[in-house]
């Protein structure tokens, strides 16, 4: 049985964090948390304008998501969270000593990410933000890396297999 586990599906804008995260959560019967919904209105407007967020912009967002993670673990509940978690220090803020947190990194080329961002509608993160996202991205050392160009069901199956679920 899986105890006290939170999975954070991470990567740059357009990697498929929400799509894959929702599919993983559904396959496990776990709640899904959309990390973007924890951004402030000011941060959303910056992203919509193609302006990368600063550490100061991200601090309250990361703190709020850490709270979600800590409460889930404290209550012995599972979560799948979609969150860019681009830098190692952001991942450490999210985890902050909570070991039952696992990261899954959705890897995709810049051209794939750009194509996806250009074709999606209704999301505040468009192609203009991609350059700053990729400039910030520090590939994680301790995450399960998955090819984000594979079909979603294959990604979920690979995640479950590699994480032992």
Give pLDDT tens digits for 82-95: 999 999 999 999 99
Give pLDDT tens digits for 3-15: 558 999 999 988 9
Mean pLDDT of 67-92: 94
User: Strands 101-107 and 79-82, how do they pair?
Assistant: unpaired
Q: How far apart are CA 62 and CA 93, in angstroms?
A: 7
Instruction: Name the average pLDDT for the chain.
Output: 89
All domains of the chain in start order, with CATH: 6-162 (3.40.50.300)
Looking at per-residue pLDDT, the higher value among 101 and 127 belongs to 101
Q: What is the DSSP string of 6-46?
A: EEEEE-STTS-HHHHHHHHHHHHT--EEEGGGGS-HHHHHH
Strand, helix or coil for residue 75: coil
Q: Is residue 126's pLDDT more than 80? A: no
Q: Is residue 123's pLDDT more than 80? A: no
Looking at residue 143, what DSSP letter applies?
Answer: S
pTM (two decimals): 0.89
Under the banding of pLDDT at 50, 70 and 90, the label for residue 52 is confident
């Amino acid at each position: 049985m899986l105890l006290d586990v939170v999975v954070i599906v991470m990567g740059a804008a357009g990697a498929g964090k929400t799509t894959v995260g929702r599919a993983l959560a559904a396959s496990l019967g776990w709640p899904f948390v959309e990390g973007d919904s924890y951004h402030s209105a000011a941060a959303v407007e910056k992203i919509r304008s193609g302006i990368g967020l600063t550490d100061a912009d991200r601090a309250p967002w990361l703190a709020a998501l850490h709270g979600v993670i800590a409460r889930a673990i404290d209550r012995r509940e599972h979560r799948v969270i979609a969150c860019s978690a681009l830098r190692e220090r952001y991942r450490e803020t999210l985890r902050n000593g909570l070991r039952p947190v696992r990261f899954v990194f959705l890897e995709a080329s810049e051209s794939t990410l750009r194509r996806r961002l250009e074709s999606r509608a209704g999301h505040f993160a468009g192609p203009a933000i991609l350059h700053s996202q990729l400039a910030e991205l520090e590939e994680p050392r301790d995450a399960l890396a998955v090819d984000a160009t594979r079909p979603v069901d294959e990604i979920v199956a690979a995640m479950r297999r590699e994480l032992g679920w």
